Structure 1
Amino acid sequence: MFPQLSHAKSSIPLIFLLLLSLTPLNAASAHSVKISADIGGTLHIEPNDNPQAGQPAKAWFALTRKGGKAIALKDCDCRLAVYAEPHTPQEPPLLEPPLKPVSAERYKDTPGAEITFPKPGAYQLALTGKPTSGESFKPFELKFQVTVASGSQNIPQTPQNVNQTINNQAVETQSPPLPLWAIAAAVFATLGIVLAVMQKRRR
């Protein structure tokens, strides 16, 4: 029993070193690291890892193989699927945004995509990949949980809406013209006051 316990304790530092080698050195604490086979990945979403519904968000994946070498998109046959949570295993993905090479921080041409989440709530991003010819890492699947906040309530204005808004503001700032009878009444009232003053002076 004791030899087995000693062997288990001696393997703990090796496991820790493996996890450390798969973890990007500059990953922020807010970023969750996922490991599949011999690949580690960290999800980054711009801006500020705070996606909002209805607004495009730039997502990119920092992928590293065992030993810390980064994986570029050209070296990986990668696919991204977005699911609304909860979902069943047989359910088709809500979105399958195309992946494009992104250069960010110390990663060059890493897999990235622009995602517009349709509404607030919980989503799962599933990144699957296998090596292209000449590469030697194992096929992997990394799943990340993402919470999407409510988008801005500001509705984008078309040129027609902008012109209408400007015209409405112009109408509101202009005082409405006085009717003709009001002008005539004011004139007669002024003349009456002048005549009354003149008659008092004559007396």
Structure 2
Amino acid sequence: MSPLPNHAKATKEKHLVYYQFKVPASTANLRVNQYLILFLSFLTLSITNIYPATAHKVQISPDVGATLHIEPNDNPRAGEPTQAWFALTRKGGTILPLQQCNCQLTVYAEPHTPGEPALLEPSLKPVNAERYQGIPGADITFPKPGIYQLQLSGKPTTGANFKPFEFTFEVTVAGGNAVNTQNSQDVNTENSVDLAAESNSIPPWAIAVPILAVLGVVLAIWHNKNKP
């Protein structure tokens, strides 16, 4: 066989160089892109953890489960009337209405010692919320920002059949309108300062969007720069 012409030999050597060097480079670029995607994912999760979304609070006893929701959006503010309702359900998902429960609600300012009088004892009334009908609800006005404890206890009324229960929910109250604090207890001052600052903080999406946009541009530039 005759030797390859110089042009064919040069082309073959060029292809060998391409496969020897460009393929590993592409693999390296893929790995870098994967690392950047992972970094973006962790950044998003970190922002979400710093500013957690509000969620209903759930407690469970042997016979009854309770979900607490506070209007609006589980984010009560001091000095502003708010409605709290408790979705009581039996095993299997059957709704337990207030008419079948001799329920009592007490509110304590944290920290509190066992046996001390409750700060508030709101009256419970049947309310309709979401898919629940006739569940216990109450109107509450928290006097100051801080952390509160809501205790809901219940016993079956005549004709009902479930074991007595007592649920404890911790509620964080942000700063709001000033109200008359007569006959109320002092609420943790440090929590008040922190919560007031949090209520005026920048929304999480306002922080996440610019960061993700900048990183997206960096990723695009990197990809185009290393594109074969």
Instruction: Give your verdict on TM over 0.5.
Output: yes
Is 1:71 matched with 2:90?
no
| Partner-residue secondary structure (3-state), 2:140 | strand
Return 5+ residue gaps in structure 2 as ranges: 1-52, 179-228
| Alpha-carbon spacing, 1:57–1:29, altered in 2? closer, same or farther (3 Å) | closer
Q: Read off the aligned partner of 1:42 and give its amino acid letter.
A: T
Structure 2 counterpart of 1:85: 110
Q: Read off the aligned partner of 1:121 and give its amino acid letter.
A: G
Q: 1:105, CA displacement in angstroms?
A: 0.8
Q: 1:76, CA displacement in angstroms?
A: 0.3
| Alpha-carbon spacing, 1:29–1:38, altered in 2? closer, same or farther (3 Å) | farther
Kept after mapping to 2: 8 A contact 1:37/1:139: no
| Alpha-carbon spacing, 1:92–1:152, altered in 2? closer, same or farther (3 Å) | closer
Q: What is the root-mean-square deviation of aligned Cα atoms in Å?
A: 1.4
Structure 2 counterpart of 1:43: 68
Distance in 2, matches of 1:108 and 1:50, equals 23
Instruction: Provide Cα deviations, 1:66-88, integer angstroms capped at 9, x if missing partner.
Output: 11111101010000000000111
Instruction: Provide Cα deviations, 1:71-120, integer angstroms capped at 9, x if missing partner.
Output: 10101000000000011111111000000100011110100000000000
Return 5+ residue gaps in structure 1 as ranges: 1-27, 154-203
Structure with greater proportional helix content: 2
Structure 2 counterpart of 1:57: 82
What does residue range 181-192 of structure 1 map to in structure 2 within 5 Å? none
| Partner-residue secondary structure (3-state), 2:74 | coil
| Partner-residue secondary structure (3-state), 1:55 | coil
- How many aligned residue pairs are there? 126
Is 1:117 matched with 2:131?
no
Structure 2 counterpart of 1:139: 164
Percent identity between matched residues is 69
TM-score (norm 2): 0.54
Q: 1:152, CA displacement in angstroms?
A: 4.1
Structure 2 counterpart of 1:32: 57
Distance in 1, matches of 2:97 and 2:55, equals 23
Distance in 2, matches of 1:103 and 1:46, equals 13
Distance in 1, matches of 2:158 and 2:54, equals 34
Distance in 2, matches of 1:112 and 1:139, equals 18
Q: Which has the larger radius of gyration?
A: 1
Q: Read off the aligned partner of 1:97 and give its amino acid letter.
A: P
